[in-house]
Amino acid sequence: MALQDPSETGFQYEMVPVVLERARALRPLLAKNASAHEELGELKPEVIAALDEAGLFRMSAPRRWGGLCIPSEAMANVSRELAKGCPSTAWVVSIINSCVWIASTMAPSMQEVIFADGVPRICGPSNGAGTIEQRDGKYVVNGKWAYGSASHHAKWAMVPAAGENGQMNMVLLPMDKVEIEQTWRVTGMKGTGSDTVVALDIEVGADQFCEITSSSVGVALDESKYVREASDYWVGFPLLRAKALGVLLGTVEGLLESVIEIKDRPMIYSTYAQRGDSSVWQAGVGEAAAKLGVARSIVDKHNRHNDQVASEGRTLTYSERAVCRGECAVAAELLVQTVDDLMDLAGSSAFSLKTTSQRYWRDFSIGMRHIIFNTKLGYEVFGKQILNVEPNVVGPDHV
């Protein structure tokens, strides 16, 4: 299906400055509540309400369902701004938008259920196993899936479940029917509520699941009902990886700001009255900022490419996906180096639980361990593609 008038089916670039300004304006609120989010293991209601009002949970949804349909580069930059105030909040916003976009690629009948009342908040835990079977003419789902980021604030959970003939389905579960096991006991990203979602004999309708034919390319839309929009041509993993890196970029930018704020503090056991007088300390700040800038350029490059390709009405080739995976691994490594260097510049006092620096450090350390950021795997995928080594280590839908 060819794209129609870009004014109707392309990305809403005119909304980019609007959402970015809304995200920046929320930073003080997020910073004020970051500690409470860690204690609660979820975001505070006033923060969720503010994010809803700003439309930040609707960024990835197509306009046919009332979404903003803005480019992935803008979503990454929104995540950057939010992460400076509270990385957990930025992660939740990023995850919900990822799941909302995935929902918009499901079978049309399933989309109509999901978006019946507008754009809902959706979580998508996938680390686990589930089944869907027919009993007395009804479909019944059982299973357990970990890492349900945003599960505390979602209306729906989308989970993979095997059917009786072995096919894999994506199943839509109402959150008021599932149980949440509080398994997210970690040192960082504590406010994301990334707990385990459990289904015990939950009945679903035939329009609440569809077979997963590809996790990277959306199903063909019913041409009699819908016209394809630019977001329908995104490819899953490059989109999710490059966008989620925005959260980590903002976390490191927040850490850099917190380090610069202590430049006037003394450097004990040295002749410097304050650490900012040290040429070595100054060079360290410059090196960190430079590495951060290069990482940001890589992420921006791939988001722009993803968006341009989608605007042309096509999906990324395998080769393009491999380049994204390999180069984003470089960005990830640069961020890891920068965080370590900044904490060295900040000194031991920065690890006090009273500081924001240690929260940035902990949240980054947990977020960067997500499998989609695994650098060695990224380099291997890219290397095998360059050398024409088959089969590659990651399937096409997960590159």
- CATH classification at residue 285: 1.20.140.10
User: What pLDDT, on a 0 to 100 scale, did the predictor assign at position 227?
Assistant: 82
Same-domain check for residues 30 and 92: yes
Q: Report CA 53 to chain centroid distance, whole Å.
A: 20
Same-domain check for residues 171 and 269: no
Number of domains the chain is built from: 3
CATH number, domain of 24, equals 1.10.540.10
Measured between alpha carbons, how far is 42 from 51 in angstroms, rounded to an integer? 14
Residue 151, classified by CB atoms within 10 Å of its CB into exposed (0-12), middle (13-18) or buried (19+), is buried
* Domain endpoint, select from 168, 196, 211: 211
The model carries a pTM of 0.94
CATH number, domain of 133, equals 2.40.110.10
Locate tokens 């490419």: which residue?
305
Count the neighbouring beta carbons within 10 Å of the beta carbon of residue 212. Answer: 16
* Domain endpoint, select from 211, 246, 271: 211
Same-domain check for residues 293 and 178: no
* Range of the structural domain that residue 309 is part of: 234-398
Measured between alpha carbons, how far is 31 from 185 in angstroms, rounded to an integer? 22
User: What pLDDT, on a 0 to 100 scale, did the predictor assign at position 280?
Assistant: 95
Same-domain check for residues 291 and 328: yes
Same-domain check for residues 333 and 369: yes
- 22 close to 56: Cβ distance less than 8 angstroms: yes
Same-domain check for residues 243 and 313: yes
Same-domain check for residues 98 and 151: no
User: What pLDDT, on a 0 to 100 scale, did the predictor assign at position 396?
Assistant: 80
Measured between alpha carbons, how far is 118 from 113 in angstroms, rounded to an integer? 10
Same-domain check for residues 268 and 360: yes
User: What pLDDT, on a 0 to 100 scale, did the predictor assign at position 128?
Assistant: 94
Same-domain check for residues 272 and 195: no
- 170 close to 159: Cβ distance less than 8 angstroms: yes
Question: pLDDT by residue for the chain (399 residues), tens digit each?
Answer: 333 444 578 999 999 999 999 999 999 999 999 999 999 999 999 999 999 999 999 999 999 999 999 999 999 999 999 999 999 999 999 999 999 999 999 988 999 999 999 999 999 999 999 999 999 889 999 999 999 999 999 999 999 999 998 899 999 999 999 999 999 999 999 999 999 999 999 999 999 999 887 544 444 455 556 788 999 999 888 888 877 899 999 999 999 999 999 999 988 888 899 999 999 999 999 999 999 999 999 999 999 999 999 999 999 999 999 999 999 999 999 999 999 999 999 999 999 999 999 999 999 999 999 989 999 999 999 999 999 999 899 888 788
Same-domain check for residues 244 and 384: yes
Q: Residue 173: inside a domain, yes or no?
A: yes
